[in-house]
Structure 1
Amino acid sequence: MGWLLLGIVIGIGLPVQTGVNTRLRDQLGTWRASCTSFAIGSGCLLVGWGVTAPMVRPVAWAQLACQPGWLWLGGLLGVAYLTGNLLLFLRLGAVQTVLFPIAGQVLMGLLIDQFGWFQAARVPLTGWRVAGALLVMAGITLTVITPQSPRVTTQPRAWGWQLLGILLGMLSASQTAINGRLGLVLHSAVAAALISFLVGTAALALIVGLARTSTPVHHPVTPWWAWTGGFLGALYVLGNVSLMQRLGTGLTVMIVLVGLVTGSLLIDQLGWLGAPKRAVTSRQLVGLSLMLIGVAAIRLIG
């Protein structure tokens, strides 16, 4: 139960991080804000590794030499997911940018468990696990799509962007599995998260250097909390690595999604980070309940 609660907590932190990074983006621009966030997260993880290293099992750095190259891809997949969502938002709008990647995450999480991809522990696909995944997706749909939401677009070529959204979600679930495996190889969740962040920071620094864009300044004064996105991102990746090793990819993905939706509803209800207050509806509460029932079906029965 403790690990399930941890998954919900780190999932709640994800929309908070998004709101924080949005404020930093207004100050620095998209790519520089992302690079800054990754760099701050790398610094936090480096400090965390330095503090915890004497108290835990030594990191098995030598093991990296005989491991497959895909272990280094976690950070790059995180950058791809971030970039792809920016493109999706411009072409599909907010609702579909949430729904299609989540569908990809749930699908890929179950596939990784079923076939043991990325050397993950195999968890056979059962009817209860499928039913639980469908309940999670139904719950997310109820909470995201409201009567005021735009209809799913039927414009020509929109299906290509929708498929891209599913693919991005599958990449995100793959990142969770890869980082989880890296944590097992190194005997350290902190070291695995640190490597993922360093790779992502290097990739974003390269993009910023090649783009050479000017820095837009919309907010002359940036609040202190606008710089905490990297810290929240570090906790998110670190939590995912730890959960993956104990719950498997599929359940980790879904319990974090429950937290994500919960965090989004809390931001709307309480008006955190300057967001306009929107009352949570009974429809959204039903959706959240369906998600919790779906997770229970996978964890306790499936």
Structure 2
Amino acid sequence: MTHTPRIPLLAGLPLAVAAGLFIPVQGRINGALGAALADGIAAAVVSFSTGLILMIVISLALPKGRAGLARILPAVRDRAFPPYYVLAGGIGALFVFAQSFAVGLLGVALFTVAAVTGQTLSGLLVDRIGIGPAGRRPITGIRVLGSVLTVAAVAWAVSPRFGGGGSGFLPLLVPLLLPVLAGFLMSFQQAMNGTATVHYGTPVAATLVNFIAGAAVLWTPWLVKLAVAGAGNALPDQWWYYLGGPMGCVFIGVGALLVRSLGVLVTGLGMIAGQLLGSLGLDLVFPVPGTVVALPTVLGTVLTLAAIVLATLPWPKGALKR
């Protein structure tokens, strides 16, 4: 195991927020690619495949990347961590599939609230049981309050977009549970990636393994679909359609790096803040049909930032501890 220095909160939290900025941009790109291909699974395959190619190049080009590659098999063989951690990328594939399947049925707003709720709840749980490299972190009243406020703030921020998710509750039950499950598992993905990073010595190797697993999970159903239904539209010529995968490399790698220092909950909350800020920036600078930027959008984003500050401040030991 290599001992990389821990990143201070004041440096790590802004880095998590910055990484979160890429998530809505990636979503916008992958959504446009899915529409161009008329195939959401194919868009996810393209996204993961371009990310995988980039990670292979980086891993071979950088000395740190090559050193990390050399540690992957020994770490798995020696059971430095549970072997199923190498399948963490499958969770990312599930999240991308959830986007392609559920967003059209629920709308972006309801999907976002469902995924954030799942991720925030599991962030508390993962920190409590100590799956990540930061070890066990107690569930305190302050951390619970910050988590609840984060979910409420995200719901408020996206509330102007509610109303396009269809009619009736039962038809939406399964589509609604899918993003909750995908969001819930994302904290486990970050914890597993963080633990693997400690043993590989670099988040580059952990990110590469993620993209290998995620690409395998997505290629399998797409090949079945290809055999049954045939190919969809041809790949578009515009270069920006292929930036989704590289952006995924950024927030997966940064998450794997930060969870050892910040814990899973705080890393996840920081990325949620970045996601809201990025969504707000996209809606203001590059609006699409149906874009709504209202006062609750701005105030909900500000409240999210306040909730994250509340959850991450160095409160005295035992303050509201459960």
TM-score normalised to structure 1 length? 0.89
- Residue of structure 2 equivalent to 1:42: 52
- The SS at the match of 1:145 is helix
1:284 partnered with 2:297: yes
Distance 1:269 1:278 in 2: 9
Compared CA separation, residues 112 and 214, structure 1 to 2 (3 A): same
1:53 partnered with 2:90: no
Distance 2:165 2:34 in 1: 29
CA deviation digits over 1:59-118, x for unaligned, max 9?
523111113122122111111122233333344333221111110000000110111135
More deviation in 245-254 or 42-51? 42-51
- The SS at the match of 2:32 is helix
Contiguous gaps of at least 5 residues in structure 2: 1-9, 316-322
Query: Contact between 1:27 and 1:216, CA under 8 Å: does it hold in 2?
Result: no
- The SS at the match of 2:137 is coil
- Residue of structure 1 equivalent to 2:182: 168
1:96 partnered with 2:113: no
Compared CA separation, residues 295 and 209, structure 1 to 2 (3 A): same
Query: Contact between 1:96 and 1:152, CA under 8 Å: does it hold in 2?
Result: no
Distance 1:184 1:145 in 2: 39
1:207 partnered with 2:221: yes
- Residue of structure 2 equivalent to 1:27: 36
More deviation in 205-214 or 126-135? 205-214
- Residue of structure 1 equivalent to 2:91: 77
The one-letter code of the counterpart of 1:49 is: S
- Residue of structure 1 equivalent to 2:233: 217
The one-letter code of the counterpart of 1:60 is: R
Match of 1:2 among 3, 11, 18: 11
- The SS at the match of 2:101 is helix
Distance 2:292 2:224 in 1: 43
Query: Contact between 1:176 and 1:241, CA under 8 Å: does it hold in 2?
Result: yes
> Deviation of residue 32 (structure 1)?
2.0
Contiguous gaps of at least 5 residues in structure 1: none
Distance 2:290 2:13 in 1: 28
Compared CA separation, residues 186 and 165, structure 1 to 2 (3 A): same
TM-score normalised to structure 2 length? 0.84
CA deviation digits over 1:266-302, x for unaligned, max 9?
1111116xx2484633222211111111111111145
The one-letter code of the counterpart of 2:156 is: L
Distance 1:151 1:227 in 2: 28
Superposed, which structure 2 residues align to 1:109-124 within 5 Å? 109-117=123-131, 121-124=135-138
Match of 1:63 among 53, 58, 75: 75
- Residue of structure 1 equivalent to 2:196: 182
More deviation in 290-299 or 80-89? 80-89
1:263 partnered with 2:281: no
Identity of aligned residues (%): 25
- The SS at the match of 1:146 is helix
The one-letter code of the counterpart of 1:123 is: R
- Residue of structure 1 equivalent to 2:267: 252
In the alignment of these two chains, the number of paired residues is 299
1:107 partnered with 2:117: no
Query: Contact between 1:39 and 1:201, CA under 8 Å: does it hold in 2?
Result: yes
Distance 2:44 2:153 in 1: 30
> Deviation of residue 164 (structure 1)?
3.6
The one-letter code of the counterpart of 2:22 is: G
More deviation in 194-203 or 138-147? 138-147
Compared CA separation, residues 23 and 187, structure 1 to 2 (3 A): same
Compared CA separation, residues 186 and 221, structure 1 to 2 (3 A): closer
